[in-house]
């Protein structure tokens, strides 16, 4: 039989409880997925009905609302928008995502919006910007910091002999 626990309380099978504030279930989440000092940060609100079950593995049920956060992708800082959310209904590796993050490129005066919606392989990624530019220019902007590639402005790789 599975066990159900409040993720905020310590127990024999939950030795590292999630730390939340007494002001309403706020939880800080920090991680460095590549180990290179690029810390990602989220301040979240764990919903009242968030449940962790232990049986033949871990199962999560409930919703996590983002209050604010910052992630770094391709060396660019993105602010995760308030009320982005992650919903769990089973495996912690298969959450339903509804997340929007923004990146402001001051040089080009463009704000990029990245929205991820869906679960696992079915999740979709949507790019948009203000002012509006084509997706190809958004990708160039994120990769290079510039809106367009200039002829002769980049390096090329020549095959060896």
Q: Sort 9 into a burial class: Cβ within 10 Å, 0-12 / 13-18 / 19+.
A: exposed
Q: What is the pLDDT of residues 128-160, one digit of tens each?
A: 999 999 999 999 999 999 988 876 554 443 444
- Residue 149 CA to residue 143 CA, distance in Å, equals 10
- Residue 133 CA to residue 147 CA, distance in Å, equals 9
- The pLDDT of residue 160 is 43
- Residue 48 CA to residue 65 CA, distance in Å, equals 11
Which CA distances in Å does 150 have to 147, 153, 154? 10, 5, 7
39 token code pair: 């810390």
Mean pLDDT of 10-27: 50
Identify the three-state secondary structure at position 127: strand
- Residue 127 CA to residue 76 CA, distance in Å, equals 15
- Residue 152 CA to residue 56 CA, distance in Å, equals 58
Mean pLDDT of 65-77: 81
**pLDDT for residue 8 is more than 90:** no
Mean pLDDT of 71-100: 86
**pLDDT for residue 12 is more than 60:** no
For residue 115, give the nearest of 97, 95, 88, 93 by alpha carbon.
97
Please list, residue by residue across 32-51, b when 16 or more beta carbons sit within 10 angstroms of its beta carbon and e when fewer do. eeeeeeeebebbbbbbeebe
Prediction pTM value: 0.67
Mean pLDDT over each residue of the chain, to the nearest integer: 74
Q: What is the pLDDT of residues 94-117, one digit of tens each?
A: 889 899 999 999 999 999 999 999
What Rg value do the Cα atoms of the chain yield, rounded?
20
- The pLDDT of residue 22 is 44
């Amino acid at each position: 039989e599975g066990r159900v626990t409040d993720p905020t309380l310590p127990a024999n099978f939950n030795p590292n409880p999630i730390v939340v504030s007494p002001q309403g279930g706020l939880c800080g989440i920090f991680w460095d997925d590549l180990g290179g000092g690029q810390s990602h940060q989220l301040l979240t609100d764990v919903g009242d009905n968030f449940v962790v079950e232990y049986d033949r593995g871990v199962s999560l049920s409930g919703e996590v609302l983002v209050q604010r956060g910052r992630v770094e992708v391709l060396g660019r800082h993105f602010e995760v928008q308030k009320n982005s959310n992650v919903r769990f209904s089973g495996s912690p590796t298969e959450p339903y995502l509804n997340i929007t993050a923004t990146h402001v490129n001051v040089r080009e005066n463009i704000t990029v919006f990245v929205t991820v919606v869906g679960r696992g392989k079915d999740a979709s990624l949507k790019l948009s910007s203000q002012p509006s530019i084509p997706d190809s220019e958004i990708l160039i902007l994120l990769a290079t910091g510039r809106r367009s590639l200039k002829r002769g402005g980049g390096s090329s790789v020549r095959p060896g002999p």
